[in-house]
Chains A and B, each alone.
Chain A
Amino acid sequence: MADTMQFDLVSPERSLASVPVREVRLPGNDGDLTAMPGHAPAIVTLRPGMVVLVGADGTTREFAVTGGFAEINADSISLLAERGHPREEITQEVFNDMMKDAQRVHRNATERREHVGEEVVTAAVKLMGDMQALGTHIGLDPNQSTVPD
């Protein structure tokens, strides 16, 4: 069996990465998972978090992604994320922007609680929590972003 698989990370606006990898660690909605060559085909939704690629030579690359899903096959992984940034590109400013999105979703959900149902509100609260955890993980302050009007 081949010891690497093709990994593609695409956002709606551009393709962010297309490299061979030995393993990929994904922040799945139901818990983290690692995909290696020969993985059973699966489609997994992701929570906001860090995706870690381990390249053929053992070097790692990290990407922060929000809102997406991964299509895993035995020899390839396609990750479709609404937003994705290489870790080194994430500054406080970028993060604030990402945080703002989560806050907007959260506010919309809570304001229209009776319309959308408890489930959506719970999901929004979880989203906020995940975003904050992501910020802390990178070492950025999750409380700098102001709630948008």
Chain B
Amino acid sequence: MPSLKDLKNRIGSVKNTRKITKAMQMVAAAKLRRAQEAAEAARPYADRMAAVMAGLTANAAGQSGAPRLLAGTGADQRHLLVVMTAERGLAGGFNSSIVKLARQHAERLRGQGKDVAILTVGKKGREQLKRDYGSLFVHHVDLSEVKRVGYDNARAITDEVLARFDAGDFDVATIFYNRFESVISQIPTAKQVIPAEVPEDAAPVNSLYEYEPGEEELLADLLPRSVATQVFAALLENAASEQGARMSAMDNATRNAGDMIDRLTTEYNRSRQAAITKELIEIISGAEAL
């Protein structure tokens, strides 16, 4: 049975924890709003890029001489997994869910006898994958200094990936991130970016447009940008998901702390009452003995 003083200290410490988690929740809520606005602002560009790409790729796919970013290298042997996680923890299952998906993916590919390489973005994913897959790491992108992800960050990651692709280091690249569904639901997602996937329902001919320069040059120019756009979209989704996950995790933590304080307070009051009763009994029995 803890003493009254112990209980009081305990309550104090849980109260402090609750203050912290409450503050983190509110900060996450503010950041979430900003992250959502950023994702919203990026949508027009991504949508138009996707629309133009859909027309172009549908035309070019299947033709010989299509750029390698679209047609692939002709092999499916070496895979690059780009695992994008957060730089910070305390965000519920945010980081683990991405890592888990990437892990499943890596295991499946290795089971099929394929080569796997991993490029990590964000410290947390790297830490979690290090023990099992440390030897597969090819590069790490550190975003801990970045307050707000910008297109420049996405392009730096893309340049890194494309340089490896040009050097012939891998055949297929897949990015892993959390798609933001709502504050309480983020869906870990794997998306293949190289070679580009041709949407199945894309209109095959968009000959309405006159292309300047030619269609092929245009495609060669746009493909790397399209990859960067997809990476950027994933980074933004990730940023929103991270804040959403942190917000609900901290909301839970705050509520748990509240429950705990209630329980401890009840216990404290009971102990106090017990002590008083005990003293009273002692006094009364002392008086009766006289």
Contacts and interface: CB of A to CB of B under 8 A. Distances in A.
Interface in A31-49: 40-45
Given A13-B151, A69-B218, A71-B52, A42 B211 contact: yes
Given A14-B41, A42-B212, A43-B218, A115 B154 contact: no
A28 to B, nearest CB: 7
28 contacts: A11-B151, A12-B42, A12-B151, A13-B150, A13-B151, A14-B41, A15-B45, A29-B212, A30-B212, A41-B209, A42-B209, A42-B210, A42-B212, A43-B209, A44-B212, A45-B212, A45-B217, A45-B218, A69-B218, A71-B48, A78-B48, A80-B45, A80-B48, A82-B151, A82-B225, A112-B163, A112-B166, A116-B166
Nearest to B210: A42
Interface in A12-27: 12-15
Contact of A43 (B41, B52, B154, B155): B52
Contacts of A29: 212-213
B49 A80 contact: yes
B194 to A, nearest CB: 16
A75 interface: no
B146 interface: no
B164 to A, nearest CB: 11
Contacts of B155: 82
B222 A69 contact: yes
A43 B229 CA distance: 18
State the 6 A-B residue pairs at the shortest beta-carbon distance, nearest first: A12-B151, A42-B210, A14-B41, A10-B45, A44-B212, A10-B44
Given A10-B48, A69-B218, A69-B221, A43 B211 contact: yes
